[in-house]
Structure 1
């Protein structure tokens, strides 16, 4: 079977690998679509993401949908063969203090598809067939096409970030960064009842995508004279992964407001306006991955066809490197999918 394997910085290969076989409690899924994520791009361009560095070749990908093929023996409960499904990419340990406390997304011993956070690295989902624990497979809700369902993982990230902010109903929310995750944060905030969402980015194309999913105001981040800049907001979600974005959030959120850092900042220390946390009693909260939000994401996707506008290209897996190059060019794309059946 074909798979996308990262060997190091700028070394992405489409290789023939042996097809896996499911074991007890596992399911074999034929992958149809895989979404190219910002973390996949970081592994390709930089050999790592945040503090997670490649130490060995790894199959990339964690945003995948497909079809149930078979179960291991003894067969666990689950949807029958032929069912269209999305795959929750996290396997938390279930026993650490974080799991016991209901925060499985920050499990200290989790396994996550296509992640170099642990060694050996966890094989990802960019392969024609994958084996996953059966409890991580979700049948697609009625009316949700597999192509749109490929957005479930990044939308779950966005939903978790908005939940970390607390109730946003009736509030003004700022989102810095209009990449795929930032656009989905816009949609998540609107779905949670935000009265107004302002989004910032350097690129007009990215801001245009944000508008398709509900942004009320789009602001050019590099233009201090842009008339869309708010005087202050109630909540800010930093989705760009840039220190400048965090600075914008801290300076625009109201006194006593909440800033959620969602974008993964570069490795090492990051400067930020820490005195504002003190003098304005701003709450700075991190947001990492998600847990039960994955199921909520599937139902939101099923209810809202507007998400289709964020999918800018579907590329055959054999052309994975060109797909990655397109996904990395934010002036030409938002979310790029790999197609494992073409």
Structure 2
């Protein structure tokens, strides 16, 4: 692994620091000039950002397939796949300049790791008054989890199994368990995740000890083994939701046995699109605002597994991604 900090600055304008992936497993801080701000823009000083471990790991390793280069472009990403690119989508900051009524407000934005940035007003979402900015870095993960629950169509009384006690899987199980009458179990190979489940008020099962059949099963592990386990525990006409993204890795599963006789549904979920059943009433802005509202529970702080200062990020980035205990790693500015 290599890292370096680029000290070069622009002398004739205000500069900011941003994290760039320069090549496979190489990142650095670049100095950039802020663009001119229009009357409908806001200047945001970043307080925290969050590392999306699954997606950012694939990008850092250069594992985005060429067929997905355009679809994988994040909001306000710069550069081109595979490298060099500026990527990330979980920034929390305070508005320093813009419309008078917004100055001073704390906001969330889908923006790469950068210490200050300018965005149009409609691309930042004010935090609820009771939501601490340090927890709001989970907003993009909660938005994904909410979309998965919608795609899964979980109903009161359903038996639900969620495979993968990472951030997204844990949030899916958290939301599912709060639907009246559901029986939700969070499944993982790592027995240490039982403590996380308990802290979130969730039932936990080791993957090889899961018992019974379920109405809805969600795979958030990016593991073919977990997907096969989900198929094995699906009841008749159950729905299996694949919420993982595998990048350029092939996945092999068996669709023999009872897959057809049980008339199982295997569907994908991706946060880039609002489900058709919601699309007429829900905008992306409404969905993000709701994701922030859903983060008010203090128990969700348990999903923040560490913190690093922005200046130390290039040196720490590879370690953060490779540590199996990492959930959401927070960057402090």
TM-score by length of 1: 0.78
Question: Is 1:182 the equivalent of 2:182?
Answer: no
Alpha-carbon separation, structure 2, partners of 1:331 and 1:269: 22
2:218 to 231, 237, 244: 237
Alpha-carbon separation, structure 2, partners of 1:16 and 1:260: 41
Q: Residues 268, 335 of structure 1: CA spacing in aligned structure 2 closer, same or farther, 3 A cutoff?
A: closer
2:103 to 64, 70, 81: 81
Matches within 5 A, 1:3-152: 3-23=18-38, 25-37=40-52, 38-48=54-64, 52=68, 54-71=81-98, 79-87=101-109, 89=110, 124-152=111-139
Question: Which string of whole-angstrom CA distances, capped at 9 and with x for unpartnered residues, describes residues 150-180 of structure 1?
Answer: 1111011011101111133222211111111
Unaligned runs of at least 5 residues, structure 1: 90-123
Name the SS of the counterpart of 2:172 in structure 1: helix
Alpha-carbon separation, structure 2, partners of 1:267 and 1:127: 28
Q: Residues 27, 194 of structure 1: CA spacing in aligned structure 2 closer, same or farther, 3 A cutoff?
A: farther
TM superposition outliers: structure 1 runs of 4+ over 6 Å:
none
Question: Is 1:154 the equivalent of 2:176?
Answer: no
Q: Is the 8 A contact 2:63 2:248 kept in 1?
A: no
Q: Residues 254, 193 of structure 1: CA spacing in aligned structure 2 closer, same or farther, 3 A cutoff?
A: same
TM-score by length of 2: 0.80
- State the partner residue of 1:110: none
Alpha-carbon separation, structure 2, partners of 1:61 and 1:131: 15
Question: Which string of whole-angstrom CA distances, capped at 9 and with x for unpartnered residues, describes residues 184-226 of structure 1?
Answer: 111121233362222222223334323322321231x3xx3x3
Alpha-carbon separation, structure 2, partners of 1:47 and 1:39: 10
Question: Is 1:293 the equivalent of 2:287?
Answer: yes
Q: Displacement, 1:64?
A: 1.2
Name the SS of the counterpart of 1:14 in structure 2: strand
Unaligned runs of at least 5 residues, structure 2: 1-15, 70-80, 273-283
Q: For this pair of structures, how many residues does the alignment match? A: 293
Alpha-carbon separation, structure 2, partners of 1:305 and 1:330: 25
Name the SS of the counterpart of 2:312 in structure 1: helix
- State the partner residue of 1:213: 200
